Structure 1
């Protein structure tokens, strides 16, 4: 097929990319027939997955709007995927044109597409980075250019910490990031899970696990623990569709994704 202008020349458009599959699932346009074919096969075996990911993205948009209204102007989104339409920078810049956004993802395909999308947007940047290497991300050139850590920042860890096993101490990993943030900063987390996760993962968990990399489900208490040192905004840690839904919106009860937003408390 003919390569569209938004597809970087170094990206293979004939081989499926999980980043573009994700983009398709959440309603994006930065994907190709080969990606949509893979998405269809996975969705046939995991019918709730695409709805779950769309609910996660909708939660993220609502969270960014809420934080923009609270005065946050800087956003650091780690594990961002392709920063296509309706992502953090669109929401934040629509609310306040002086906002800045840094996206980080480990997937080179997502980063390549992201750079093409953001080529004419000086208030946002994307670069390749590993969640497990906080210092490299926090000290990266694009981070230093767009994020002033002397002012409040929104740290976004949406649908990424469920890839961090308990043995890697996800709470300590989060704290390596939040230690750099000043009081008044906010932490946004969404995570595969349920209010209570039984010893044997429920069928929905098995379907989700079969579609992506190894996923660790966590319950409300476990996710709440990742917000240590922060005060949760109402309604606390809840299923993602139930976090400040739009007026008249009916949250889908099948979707197994927890979410919360919290503010960093002043040092005692």
Structure 2
């Protein structure tokens, strides 16, 4: 593991740390909290997006582990550790579940080493890699995961950082092509929506002041990531609505789960 402290830039706000701030975490800096507060002034509900996305992760992983028999997960764009991380949810159902986390944020990796401790029966690995490094991710993940068996591919709030549409769709397709039948794509993405115009203003503020910059897509464009897969009900919807036990307001973070 490389020296992460030398790579952590505390002079500019960072997405993972702002997300952590909005969900009540402590792994952030004053510059992140200031930016988070300014974004929340532009769009007061944005903190709810982060929490809704985390709850969606829990429901999706639990469904795959309980109902689909998935015992392996490749979680790319992990973000800072929080409550109910992928391995915690999966290993509560299947103690020997295997999870590989991938992120290229040095702060995320530093905390992953310290906090993401699983069951004795299971296995967890951490990769320092960018989403674009598909071949490197797959080669390193194969040390922990058996790609001849189904894998849950977790891409929550990460393809938003790939600006070019065709590049982003191509990356997801290359990852899925390497996975066995019975594998599932779990993906969430910030959307632009006519009913939520203040989201566009908040994203514009972020892209002017923060790093890395993000790209919004329409709900239809998000659904395109699932082409060729069997899309599980209720389809691509607000992540707050995906198989939630109780109704909650829609958020501009859409999500879905599809089976290969």
Same fold by TM-score, threshold 0.5 exceeded? yes
Match of 1:202 in 2: 197
Partners in 2 of 1:176 and 1:13 — Cα distance? 30
1:220 partnered with 2:219: yes
Query: Unpaired runs of 5+ in structure 1?
Result: 1-7
Q: How has the CA–CA distance of structure 1 residues 10 and 218 changed in structure 2, closer, same or farther, with 3 Å as cutoff?
A: closer
Q: CA deviation at 1:127?
A: 2.1
1:62 partnered with 2:56: no
1:232/1:263 contact within 8 Å kept: yes
The secondary structure found in structure 2 opposite 1:162 is helix
Alignment partner of 2:259 out of 252, 260, 263: 263
Q: CA deviation at 1:14?
A: 10
The secondary structure found in structure 1 opposite 2:96 is coil
RMSD: 2.6
Partners in 2 of 1:39 and 1:147 — Cα distance? 36
Match of 2:126 in 1: 126
Q: How has the CA–CA distance of structure 1 residues 217 and 188 changed in structure 2, closer, same or farther, with 3 Å as cutoff?
A: same
Q: How has the CA–CA distance of structure 1 residues 72 and 39 changed in structure 2, closer, same or farther, with 3 Å as cutoff?
A: same
2:4/2:109 contact within 8 Å kept: no
Q: CA deviation at 1:29?
A: 4.3
Alignment partner of 1:158 out of 133, 148, 156: 156
Alignment partner of 1:40 out of 24, 34, 37: 37
2:7/2:106 contact within 8 Å kept: no
2:42/2:198 contact within 8 Å kept: no
**How many residue pairs align between the two structures?**
248
Alignment partner of 2:50 out of 50, 53, 56: 53
Q: CA deviation at 1:83?
A: 2.7
Normalization by structure 2: what TM-score?
0.85
Q: CA deviation at 1:144?
A: 2.1
Q: How has the CA–CA distance of structure 1 residues 119 and 65 changed in structure 2, closer, same or farther, with 3 Å as cutoff?
A: closer
Partners in 2 of 1:202 and 1:45 — Cα distance? 10
Q: CA deviation at 1:214?
A: 3.0
2:49/2:253 contact within 8 Å kept: yes
Normalization by structure 1: what TM-score?
0.82
